[in-house]
Chains A and B, each alone.
Chain A
Amino acid sequence: MSAKETTNVVFVGVGGQGILLASAIVATAALESGYDVKTNEIHGMAQRGGSVLAQVRYGKKVYSPLVPKGTATAIASLERTEAIRYVDYLAPDGLAVISDQVIVPVTVSSGAAKYPELDESGLREIFPKLVYVPAVERATELGNVRAANVILLGALSTKLDLTDEAWQDAIKKRVKPAFVDLNLKAFYLGRDLAQNA
C-alpha cells in the first residue's frame, strides 16, 4: 500500500504558532527533491486559539493529502501536550519532537479543566522516540522567539531523507530574505539538538 512508501509528517500546535511555515518548508524541500507532495492544513474557526494540525506527505506518488493514523514518520508539536491529542497519527517507530512551551487554554485558565502535569519523562513514556526542545528559550537566544518553529523543524529533519541542500533551498524560498540567516541558524540548532539527544 502506498502509505508504506510515503513519508508522512504532522505538525501540531495552537493557532498562530507558525506550524504552516514549518510544514511549507518540508513540502518545498520534498518538491525540490523531485517527490510528489501533498499537504493539508486547518483553516477557519480553528485559528482562533484552537488546536491546529498541518500534514505533509511525500513520495513517488501520493494520493491522500491526509496522513492515515499510525503512519506518521515524525510529529512535531509546538506546544508541550498538543502532540498527545494526535498521538495515534504516529507510526510505531515514529519520532516526536516536542517544544516545552505551555499554552494554557481558556478552559484551564477559567478553571473548567486542568492542564496535565507532564514533564519530559512523562512525555517519553508516551513518545519513546522523543526530542524535547526548549524551543522558545533557544529561539529567544537566537534573537527571535518566532524561530521556535524552525528549531523544531531542524530536529524533525533528522528523521527525513532530504538533503541539506534541499532544506536550505526550501528555507530560502519560504522565508523573507531578512530572516533567512536566522532561520538557517534555528534549523541547524534544532538538528544538533536532535543528533545529540
Chain B
Amino acid sequence: MAKKLLSGNEAIALGAYESDCSVATGYPGTPSTEILENISKRYGDKIYCEWSPNEKVAFEAAVGASTTGARALTTMKLVGLNVAADPLMTLSYTGVAGGFIAVVADDPGMNSSQDEQDTRLFAHFAKVPVLEPADSQEAKEFVKVGFEISEQFGTPVILRTTTTVSHSRGVVEEGTALELNRPHSFKKDPQRFVPIPAFARGMRVRLEDRVERLSKAASVSSLNRVEWNENGDRKVGIVTSSATYQYVKEVFPEANVLKLGWCYPFPDDLLLEFAKTVRTVVVIEELEDFVEQHMKALGIATIGKRLGNENLVPKYGPLDVDVLLEVRKKLSANPATSKAFSAPVAETKRELPALPTLPNRPPVLCPGCPHRGLFYALGKFDVVVAGDIGCYSLGVAPPLNCMDTILCMGGGITVAHGIDVAKNDRPVVGVMGDSTFFHSGMTGLMDIVYNKGKATIVVLDNRITAMTGHQDNPGTGKTIMGEETFAASISDIAKAMGMKNVVTVNPRKLDETSAALKTAIESDEAWLIVAKEPCPLAYRKKADHEVFVDQEKCKKCGACLKLGCPAIERDENKVVTINESLCASCDLCKQVCKFGALSSRDANSSQGGLV
C-alpha cells in the first residue's frame, strides 16, 4: 500500500473513506476545517458532504443519517461542540444505529480560538467514548476503530484532535476501503429513538451499563498500549495521550509509557495494573488534568500538574519538547523524584548577541478588505460595538480600534440587544459576518424584532466564510461540492422576520456607509445594515487601475494611515507610498485624503493589484 504524507485532517478524511462513511457534515472552524474540505474534494463522489449553517445542524443531520444505519461523521472545532452540545447529550441516551463520529478539534494555545476548552471533559459529561490520535496514521486508524466502537456499543464517539495533530503531517499508509453494502433503512423503534420520559428513564439506566462495558473494552483495546522499556527498569511510568505522547518519547526515552488513545470511559483496569507495576506514576497531559484526577480518584498516587508545592505540567497552552524538558528538569531537581529522573541532556546553547527589537506582525485585515471601510466609518461614531467571530474580529486592533466585545458566534447581535435594553448611555452597534448570521445570528435578529429593540446591526456580507479559508455558506449560492444552489438573501430574511429598516450599502464607499450608520444610530428603531462587498481573496478580480501617492499634493498628515491598510507605507521622513504588490485598488485611501494626494492611473499590465 502506498505511503503518503498527510496532515491529521487529511488522514481523518481518508479514514472516513476507508470506513465506508456515507454522510459527512460540518461547519468550518480552525483547526478542523480541512477534514470536510478533503472528504468533499477527494471522496465526494462516494460520501455525501455538506457545510451546514452551524455545528448543531451538522451534528443533527449526521445523527439522522446514522438512524438509517449509515455511517456518519460530523466535524467542528472545540467551541462548535458547545453549539452542538444539545443533540450530543441526548444522542448519548438514544444511541446510534450506523456508526457515528463527531470529530472535534481542540486548540491548545488558542491559535485561532477564543477559549481553550478540553473536549475530553465534554465526552465525560455526555458519557461517550473519546479517542485521541497522536499522529496522522493514528488519526486515520482511529476513525475506523471509532466506527467499530460506535456500532458495537451503539454509542456516539468523539474523535478529539488538537491543532498539532490536525495540522502536522506524517507518513500514512493507505489501506483497503471497506465496502459495507448496507441497506440504509430506518427501523421504527420508539423505545430506542424517542426519549420521552417514560423511555428516557430506561435509556438512562442502560447508559450507565454501557459506560461500564466501554471502560472494560477500553482497558483491553489496542488504542491503549503500554510501551515497557527494554531494560526492565520499572521505576517510572508515564501516562500520556495525543501529541503529548510524541514529546514524552523524546524527553523521557527510558520511561515506561502508558499511551492512551481511548481515555474515556476511563480504562480503570489498565490504569490500576500499570500503576501497580511501576514505582512512580507521572501523568503528562495537555490542558486539563483529566486522566490524572481520575487516577487519584482510583487511589493511585500520581504526579502531574503539581509536584509537591510547585507547578509541574502546565494546565494551559500547548505542550512541546521544550516544555517537557522543563518538566524533566523540575523532576530531577526535586528531592522526591530526583532518584527516578536524571537531568535532561542540555542542548549546547549558542551565545547570542543583543537582538534588535522586532516589530510585531499581528494578523491584519487584508488590503482591499471590505470590512476596513465599515470599521473606518463606524469609528467616527461614539457607540459601543458588539462584535463577533470572524475576520472582522481583527477590527479590534489599532488603528481601527473598533470592537468592544466578542462573546461567541451570534453574540454580535444578541449582546448588542442586551446593551440596548439595559438603556446604555451610548448607542450600540452589533457587527457580524454573513456566515455567522446564518450560523446563529438569525434568532438574535428575531429577538430584536419581537421585543422591539433599537440596536443597529451591521452584517458584513463578504459573500464567503473567509477566516477559515473561504468556504461556501447558505448565502453564496454554492454547496461544498461546487453545485449551484439557492443564495439566501440576508435582507430578505430580515424583512421576512419583520425587520422594518433594512438597507444595503457598499462598505468600500465611505459616504454611503457613514450616511446609513448615521441614520440607523440616530434612529429610535432597530436597523439592519447589510454591508455587502465580496472578499477580494475569495473573488479575485484584476484591478482596472492602480493607486499612487502624488507626492506634490501629500501633506504628510497621516490620515490614510488610520485605515490600517498593509499596502500604505510610511518611511521615517513621513513620506507615504503605496506598495503596489499589496494594493488591491479598493480606493478607500482616496476617499479619506482631503488633499487629493491619492490618485489613480491605469493598471500597468502585470504589476498592480491583487490579481
Flag the segment in B122-130, B331-339, B346-354 that touches A.
B346-354
Contact B355 A87 (CB under 8 A): yes
Interfacial chain B residues near A114, Cβ < 8 Å = 357, 359
Interfacial chain A residues near B322, Cβ < 8 Å = 68-69
> Nearest Cβ distance between residue B10 and chain A, in whole angstroms?
12
**B558 located at the interface, meaning its Cβ lies under 8 Å from any Cβ of chain A in the complex:** yes
Contact A68 B359 (CB under 8 A): no
Interfacial chain B residues near A46, Cβ < 8 Å = 111, 363
Contact B320 A68 (CB under 8 A): yes
Contact A92 B350 (CB under 8 A): yes
**B190 located at the interface, meaning its Cβ lies under 8 Å from any Cβ of chain A in the complex:** no
Contact B112 A41 (CB under 8 A): no
**B38 located at the interface, meaning its Cβ lies under 8 Å from any Cβ of chain A in the complex:** no
**B482 located at the interface, meaning its Cβ lies under 8 Å from any Cβ of chain A in the complex:** no
Count residues of B near A (Cβ-Cβ below 8 Å): 60
Cβ proximity bits A54-69 to B, threshold 8 Å, 1 near / 0 not? 0000000011111011
Given contacts A48-B366, A90-B350, A110-B570, list 11 more A-B pairs with CB under 8 A: A38-B168, A48-B364, A50-B363, A63-B249, A65-B168, A68-B322, A70-B349, A70-B350, A92-B348, A107-B360, A110-B564
Count residues of A near B (Cβ-Cβ below 8 Å): 59
Enumerate 7 A-B pairs (CB-CB under 8 Å) in ascending A order.
A39-B5, A41-B169, A66-B168, A66-B320, A92-B348, A105-B360, A114-B359
| Interface residues in chain B, defined as those with a beta carbon under 8 Å from any beta carbon in chain A | 3, 5, 30-31, 111-112, 135, 164, 167-171, 243, 245-247, 249-251, 253, 320-322, 325, 345, 347-350, 352-353, 355-366, 391, 394, 398-399, 467-469, 558, 561, 564-566, 568-570, 579
* CB closest chain-A residue, reference B3: A31
Interfacial chain B residues near A162, Cβ < 8 Å = none
Contact B112 A45 (CB under 8 A): yes
> Contacting A68 at CB < 8 Å: which of B243, B250, B356, B394?
B250
**A178 located at the interface, meaning its Cβ lies under 8 Å from any Cβ of chain B in the complex:** no
Interfacial chain A residues near B320, Cβ < 8 Å = 64, 66, 68
Contact A43 B31 (CB under 8 A): yes
| Interface residues in chain A, defined as those with a beta carbon under 8 Å from any beta carbon in chain B | 1-3, 14-15, 27-28, 31, 36-51, 62-66, 68-71, 81-82, 84-85, 87-88, 90-92, 104-116, 118, 122, 125-126
> Nearest Cβ distance between residue A50 and chain B, in whole angstroms?
4
- With A and B bound together, what is the CA distance between A75 and B566 in angstroms? 26
Contact A48 B365 (CB under 8 A): yes
Contact B111 A1 (CB under 8 A): no
- Which residue among A42, A44, A69, A90 has the maximum number of chain B CB atoms within 10 Å of its CB? A44
- With A and B bound together, what is the CA distance between A65 and B356 in angstroms? 29
- The verdict on A44 contacting B359 (CB below 8 Å), with A31-B171, A66-B164 known, is no
